[in-house]
């Protein structure tokens, strides 16, 4: 398993904890981390000693999302679409994981990390968590169409239209993005308590309960929304304005470009 993922089992309480272990990079997603996450989930899927799985980030943050340093690769719109589809394949695997997945979110949960959380079953956030959308408008509809299932159309549009927009953990709870908002530093422990409660339900019934709920979501179009994001993003990356944004990033650097779009 990747060194960027740590796995802990609590057999007495029937849950496992999968930690994103790249704290020096705010647990940003690179291929090694994502491959390790999928490897851990595959190992736990058929482990009958585990009834629920917690996903958390090491250090003070959940994740900064996709690693922009390892970059946005240039190429054709088709290549872009295929690359995005491959990423979404991972999130659909998370959504279809047979057991309850519980996200424990502290600190920053940014960009693509919101996709991971949106595909989990239960979410615990710290009250001061920062759930944020990209600070530079390069995408066209990858995150918000999925998030609107949890927070509603109005808030999804606000988060999508304004670069660098975000919501706190408390706001995320009130909007329905999270099940519980807790004191800072306690999200993981609360998730462990929740996982213990979930584990008291027989595993075969948990399988059936999750399938029953997900089937309704499937019919309503959740997975279609998840997968169509690759199309909208690939199209948006060919928009005429993108060249101007890239030029701004080259002129001002990443931090300068972020300031340009987020300064009031």
Beta bridge partner(s), residue 37: none
Residue 72 has pLDDT above 70, yes or no: no
Q: pLDDT digit string (tens) for 196-211?
A: 999 999 999 999 999 9
For position 141, which CATH number holds?
3.90.226.10
The predicted model gives 124-151 an average pLDDT of: 90
Q: Is 170 exposed, middle or buried (0-12, 13-18, 19+ CB in 10 A)?
A: middle
pLDDT at 119: 97
Compute the distance between CA of residue 107 and CA of residue 97 in angstroms, rounded to an integer: 25
Q: pLDDT digit string (tens) for 47-64?
A: 999 999 999 999 999 999
Q: Residues with Cβ < 8 Å from 131, sequence gap 6 or more?
A: 105, 109, 110, 114, 117, 125, 166, 167, 168, 169, 172, 177
The predicted model gives 75-83 an average pLDDT of: 86
Cα–Cα nearest to 210, from 89, 95, 62: 95
Residue span of the structural domain in which 133 resides:
5-262
Collapsed DSSP state (helix, strand, coil) of residue 9: strand
Collapsed DSSP state (helix, strand, coil) of residue 2: coil
Span of 55-59, 143-147, 169-173 with lowest mean pLDDT: 143-147
Q: Residues with Cβ < 8 Å from 42, sequence gap 6 or more?
A: none
Give the global pTM.
0.93
Compute the distance between CA of residue 185 and CA of residue 222 in angstroms, rounded to an integer: 31
Taking all residues of the chain, what is their mean pLDDT, rounded to a whole number?
92
Percentage of the residues of the chain whose pLDDT score is greater than 70: 97
| Structure confidence at residue 68 as a pLDDT band (50, 70, 90) | low
Q: Is the model more confident about 235 or about 213?
A: 213
The predicted model gives 4-30 an average pLDDT of: 96
Number of domains in the chain: 1
């Amino acid at each position: 398993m990747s060194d960027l993922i740590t796995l802990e089992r609590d057999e007495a309480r029937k849950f496992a904890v999968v930690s994103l272990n790249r704290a020096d990079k705010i647990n940003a997603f690179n291929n090694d981390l994502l491959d390790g996450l999928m490897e851990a989930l595959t190992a736990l899927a058929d482990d009958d000693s585990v009834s629920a799985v917690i996903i958390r980030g090491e250090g003070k943050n959940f994740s900064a999302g996709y690693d922009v340093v390892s970059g946005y690769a240039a190429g054709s719109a088709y290549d872009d679409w295929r690359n995005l589809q491959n990423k979404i394949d991972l999130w659909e695997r998370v959504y279809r994981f047979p057991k309850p997945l519980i996200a424990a979110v502290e600190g920053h949960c940014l960009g693509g990390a919101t996709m991971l959380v949106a595909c989990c079953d239960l979410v615990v956030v710290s009250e001061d968590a920062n759930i944020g959308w990209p600070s530079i408008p390069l995408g066209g509809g990858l995150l918000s169409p999925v998030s609107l299932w949890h927070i509603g159309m109005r808030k999804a549009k606000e988060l999508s239209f304004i670069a660098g927009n975000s919501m706190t953990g408390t706001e995320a709870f009130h909007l329905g993005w999270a099940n519980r908002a807790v004191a800072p530093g306690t999200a993981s422990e609360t998730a462990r308590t929740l996982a213990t409660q979930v584990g008291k339900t027989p595993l075969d019934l948990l399988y059936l309960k999750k399938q029953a709920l997900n089937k309704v979501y499937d019919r309503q179009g959740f997975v279609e929304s998840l997968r169509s994001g690759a199309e909208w993003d690939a199209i948006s990356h060919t928009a005429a304005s993108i060249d101007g944004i890239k030029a701004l990033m080259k002129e001002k650097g990443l931090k300068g470009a972020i300031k340009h779009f987020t300064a009031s």
